[in-house]
Structure 1
Amino acid sequence: LKISTGAVWSDAMEWINVNFFDTLETIKTALLTALLLPVKKFFTGIPWLWGIIAVCLIAGRVAGWKLGFMAALMMLFIAASGLWGEAMVTLYLCGVSVFVAILIGTPLGIWAAQKPRAGRIILGVMDTLQTLPSFVYLIPVVMLFRVGDFSAMIAVVLYALAPAVRYAAHGIREVPPQLLEAGRMAGCTPAQLLWRVKLPLATPQLLLGLNQTIMLALSMLVITALVGTRDLGQEVYIALTKANAGQGIVAGLSVAVIAIIADRVVHALSDNQKRRLGL
């Protein structure tokens, strides 16, 4: 004898598909038209030389020119490997997914920090999302939206949402009580206290949450190659199917290059903000 909830989940997916197909298709089309496709067109249209110069200038301005020079060399490695187009698709998918995850996760984290009862539920859901195997996210997404960039984005957002929520909640909770009291004494309303005291002081933690969200998004993008993306993750997947170690290692190193540059730049932003706030 066995008891399984598999049939329940299958019936739920079928019911959603039957009753909400048009609604889901409308949402998918709207987001593709308004967000995904314009961003993809922008990134895939960046010439490799101008892209390297832009990365060098951004990294140099934020984290010092030594890192800017190293970032330029790393991006040159991607271009020299013939993977510039795939890298730009990776950046586009990662960028959009991280933007959506932060847009959803930060308000949820603030809510969790300010309302303990809601926080227990929200953080419990985040615990569940963090412990699910990566491939599990693809199953309902493909069932509801089929394959493509939109499905990949939804899977990445679900996988990378947890750190955005957790770091936002932690940052709001760690604001010194004496500063909150000073804000109340100055006549701040709860909304002013949030926008003018809590969020500015929590910025370093929010940036660390952004950093972790980017890392998880990049790791998930390799898996979303299974739903038809044409990025560096697809190159890794193709190399695996053909047992081509060289192709797989070069594509993996290209993903690592993007992750290293993003990590150093965001960490530098966080450190700069800490110094500015005297933390």
Structure 2
Amino acid sequence: MLVVEHDRDLIGLADHVVDLGPGTGAAGGRVVYEGPVAGLAAGDTLTGRTLRRVRGLKERLREPSGRLTVAGANAHNLKDVTVHLPLGVLTAVTGVAGSGKSTLVRKEPVEQHPETILIDQSPIAAAPRSTPATYLGAMDPLRRMFAEAHGVPAGLFSFNSAGACPVCRGRGEIRTDLAFMDPVTRVCDDHRPAPGRRGHAAGAARPAGGRGQHGDRGRARPGRGQALRLGDRPGGGGGAARGRGGVRGDTGGAVRSLHLYGEISR
């Protein structure tokens, strides 16, 4: 059995060790030790020095700012447990498997104190189209702001709606399935200001507060007639317009520009 491992306890169980180094990246790529674990621990490699390191206990402890009382907990394996959980410090709940740790930490505090915020290791129920901004709901007010600034539907600034790239459908990449082989995926570089951005150029060309959706000050791909920036005057009737950046193009009367003061953080 061959195992690639970093955990010192599992390394200690090995019958034979091959240690690579001496550093990472370009500084690695060489075998610096091969043999039993005892020889590795006595050696002068980075792994050997780490195995000899003794972990100490924390010396300075913080004072709690208060406490959260969980009283009379009886769920699952708990038997009338009352604890005072200190606030403002890191508290570890230990014990053997099945002793009631998870119930005491994840179930009882939330039920007895509804204002408690539980952060666990549950996977995020997100679709492949999700981003941190969409999951947190930050994109909704931004879309409304851009839409109100230009008098267009908010969906124009969503890569899951009308603002999606017509080629990749807002995914940012084009995936080609090859039956029994691994699919081929490439970054979509059509109809957007930059490769991999998932929105249509029509939305990217409408900045607000001096910035576009991607923090690029609303620049669209040159030559598509939509590269206006903050302070530009809207063209009319298919005429040409010149922005502060000196970009020329046929606006077709469709690109609107508006002075908005302030800045949208990236």
TM-score by length of 2: 0.22
- Structure number with the bigger relative contact order (C-alpha 8 A, sep ≥ 6) is 1
- Larger-gyration structure (1/2): 2
The structure whose residues are more often strand, as a share, is: 2
The structure whose residues are more often helix, as a share, is: 1
